[in-house]
Structure 1
Amino acid sequence: MREPVELRRQRILSAVQSRGAVKVTDLAVELAVSVVTLRRDVEELARAGQLRRGHGVARSMVPVQAAPEAGRPAADGDAVALVVPERHSYLNETLHGARTVLEAAGIRTALHIAPRAPGAEQAIVERALADGARGLLIAPRWRSAAAEQADYGWLAEVKVPAVLMERRPVPGSALHALDSVCSDHWYGTHLAVEHLVALGHRRIVLAARDDSPTARAIRAAFAKIAEDRPEIEDWAIMLSAPDAGAEPAADRGPHPSLAALLRERGATAAVLHGDVDALMLVQQIGDEGVRVPQDCSVVAYDDMVAGLGGTPLTAVAPPKAEIGRAAAELLLHRLERPSGAGAGTVRRVELLPELKVRGSAQVPTHPPK
């Protein structure tokens, strides 16, 4: 699945702003695009005044903090380490929000991209701490509940102030008392369902990912909300893409068609997570004769690129940048505590998403044919 241009350029900006300067060839490898495509993107971003071009290098418009003193590690000494999963574009705005707050406070950030390999975050964090990182902002991948549980032990033992971003540990777990900032995805799912029910939809399908804590929260919330709403006559949940599950696609059998499920259930509406998958699904069901919104109303979840499709999608928009800012502020609060002052009150912040209405949902006329 080809990544939308605007999303790729957001990722380029995030990388450049986080690191100060990045080689074009390195960035092309990291983003899995050709050097020609990457150069074209950099030229357009430079023309728009969002970054500066050098000889084979893209540079941030924001000056980078001076190099560390002699004898200090150049990578992470006196910096806050930001650790996020590889190719997780949802967190780009979160990173930018965190970096803005930290740099305003005079604190350098060091971005670390964790590959898909199991245990990658632990090794990265250990290296960052060995290099002198003074704090940690982290959004572990956690593709499955088992992977999440496996990380609880070592994360609970991190010896510097740390804040989880867009992650909510299981109550009573080893990380329950770690500072965290998260979107209220139950509320976001409620907004999507409420919008569709208010329009008159009574049969709704959720096509969602199942390979992150956010995805699992949305799936659980949708099942509970749909079960509890007396107006909803029928509902179903499916994967939004063949690769959207925590387990390999080969282990789950054939991937069902959303259009076929809509017809089978007589559904007139769908909630689609994430919105990159949503744009692809809208195209696919259109190819199978299901029109949006005439035959099927759609609400996307994430709102990274939902408004850029041929049919701009109504979408639930988690407060991604605000998550980063709030997490950085929590970390600053920890870093500013006097030595020996104790742990202090743990904060678990939850921010509400909002619904961006763009017209991809309407009063139902008839079920998909």
Structure 2
Amino acid sequence: MREPVDLRRQRILAVVQSRGATRVSDLAAELAVSVVTLRRDVEELAREGKLRRGHGVARPVLPDTEQTAAPAAPPQADGGPVALVVPERHAYLYETLHGARTAFEEAGVRIALHIAPNAPGAEQPIVERALAEGARGLLIAPRWRSRAVEEADYAWLARLDVPAVVMERRPRRGSALHALDTVCTDHWYGIHLAVEHLTGLGHRRIVLAARDDSPTARALRSAFAGIAADHPDVDKWAIALSSPGAAPDPGSGTAEKAVEIPALLAELGATAAVLHGDVDALMLVQSLRDSGVRVPEDCSVIAYDDVVAALGSTPLTAVSPPKADVGRAAAELLLRRLGDPVPGRSGGPVRRMELLPTLEVRGSTQAPAVMSSTAPSA
């Protein structure tokens, strides 16, 4: 017969009062109930003021004098790990991961890395398992290949009962995740830097060849369309898929079709291209060379990501998001949440942080050939 709720909660109180801070996962195993059920019991007991709910632990209520004197404690190294969830084979986000790891290691907080396979809904069971194993916080960068997959994740992420920070993702405004902590790059500013650099050199016709299978890719496309359409020095512009596999569902009949970028450049009379990401940009340079188009003499190229852009035979000018800094800022924000034992108040108000990228100018951009041959000498 199932144990009555009131009796189970009395047993929880007895254990916590006798042992002090106790892991929720240990309590669940001892009482033979699920971690989810045990968390609900702890939340209700904390609401009634009978115990204190930490992150992954239940603590006894302290005497008033001790409560007043005790400052907010920093997260303890033995309080359970922080779960980090990132997509598989994603070099960009692995760099953000390194920044996060440094901050956690400096704080003495253990991390548990989880790699999500490239499949819709892959993150939810991974997160649920990590929480069941005692994770007290979550740092996550969901893949979100399509908007439908993204919005399907909003509900369960919003229900998490541990502090969470979403990294390099910007949930839709007004959604269930609008009030979740986020740290990401200002990709509008990154495209702005690229367009200003190219128009400053004299380029008037520009192509963006971008992926369409991530929130970053969709942000870049939207930013470029708005900036290019309003820019007084851009005469013509176009957006294309950077490769056939760069869409959420390449086999769909409604998916955007990939085009040959060299042919599109020739058709538009474009003298410059911005490519997301680095590998596609390096492959474009190679394709242009095979077509007899020289970079940068005949066509300037800017890569977006700057993971391997500098390693090409022609080092590529690149927009460089502050990848490691994004990870570190996200980790520091999560540590603030973990450092205050008062549920719902820890770390202050919700934060939506944006960090600005930089432009690394290398050998793949210069003034267009017509301009450079006619420009007066200084």
| Shorter-chain TM-score tier | 0.7 to 0.9
Q: Is 1:321 paired with 2:351? A: no
Cα distance in 2 between the residues matched to 1:77 and 1:243: 43
Aligned length: 292
2:354 corresponds to which of 325, 350, 357: 350
Structure 1 residues 340 and 297: alpha-carbon distance in aligned structure 2, compared to 1, 3 A threshold = closer
Look up the match of 1:66.
none
Look up the match of 2:147.
145
Structure 1 residues 341 and 208: alpha-carbon distance in aligned structure 2, compared to 1, 3 A threshold = closer
Q: Is 1:275 paired with 2:283? A: no
Cα distance in 2 between the residues matched to 1:361 and 1:317: 15
Over the matched positions of the two proteins, sequence identity in percent amounts to: 71
Look up the match of 2:267.
264
Look up the match of 2:243.
241
Look up the match of 1:203.
205
Look up the match of 1:333.
336
Cα distance in 1 between the residues matched to 2:112 and 2:310: 32
Look up the match of 1:126.
128
Q: Is 1:218 paired with 2:220? A: yes
| 1:283 partner amino acid | Q
Give 1:311 shift: 0.6
Listed as ranges, the gaps of 5+ residues in structure 1 are: 1-75
Give 1:151 shift: 0.5
Cα distance in 1 between the residues matched to 2:292 and 2:252: 28
Give 1:106 shift: 0.7
| 1:345 partner amino acid | P
Q: Is the 8 A contact 2:247 2:256 kept in 1?
A: no
1:361 corresponds to which of 353, 359, 365: 365
The 3-state SS of whatever aligns with 2:237 is: strand
Once the two structures are superposed, what CA deviation does each residue of 1:38-65 show, in whole Å capped at 9, x if it has no partner? xxxxxxxxxxxxxxxxxxxxxxxxxxxx
Structure 1 residues 80 and 253: alpha-carbon distance in aligned structure 2, compared to 1, 3 A threshold = closer
Q: Is the 8 A contact 1:77 1:131 kept in 2?
A: no
User: Greater CA radius of gyration, 1 or 2?
Assistant: 2
Cα distance in 2 between the residues matched to 1:294 and 1:287: 15
The 3-state SS of whatever aligns with 1:191 is: helix
Q: Is the 8 A contact 2:86 2:141 kept in 1?
A: yes
Look up the match of 1:112.
114
User: What does 1:1-369 correspond to in 2, within 5 Å?
Assistant: 78-249=80-251, 251=253, 252=255, 255-340=258-343, 342=345, 344-366=348-370
Select between 273-282 and 189-198 the one with higher mean Cα deviation.
273-282
Q: Is the 8 A contact 1:311 1:360 kept in 2?
A: yes
| 1:319 partner amino acid | P
Q: Is the 8 A contact 1:139 1:166 kept in 2?
A: yes
Listed as ranges, the gaps of 5+ residues in structure 2 are: 1-77, 372-378
Once the two structures are superposed, what CA deviation does each residue of 1:196-222 show, in whole Å capped at 9, x if it has no partner? 000000000000111000000000000
TM-score, length of structure 1 as denominator length: 0.77
Once the two structures are superposed, what CA deviation does each residue of 1:174-193 show, in whole Å capped at 9, x if it has no partner? 10100110000000000000
Give 1:289 shift: 1.6
Cα distance in 1 between the residues matched to 2:271 and 2:250: 30
Structure 1 residues 280 and 288: alpha-carbon distance in aligned structure 2, compared to 1, 3 A threshold = same
The 3-state SS of whatever aligns with 1:263 is: helix
TM-score, length of structure 2 as denominator length: 0.75
Q: Is the 8 A contact 1:142 1:211 kept in 2?
A: yes
Cα distance in 2 between the residues matched to 1:342 and 1:357: 44
Once the two structures are superposed, what CA deviation does each residue of 1:299-350 show, in whole Å capped at 9, x if it has no partner? 1100000000011000000000000000000000000012346253001110
Q: Is the 8 A contact 1:164 1:180 kept in 2?
A: yes
| 2:303 partner amino acid | A
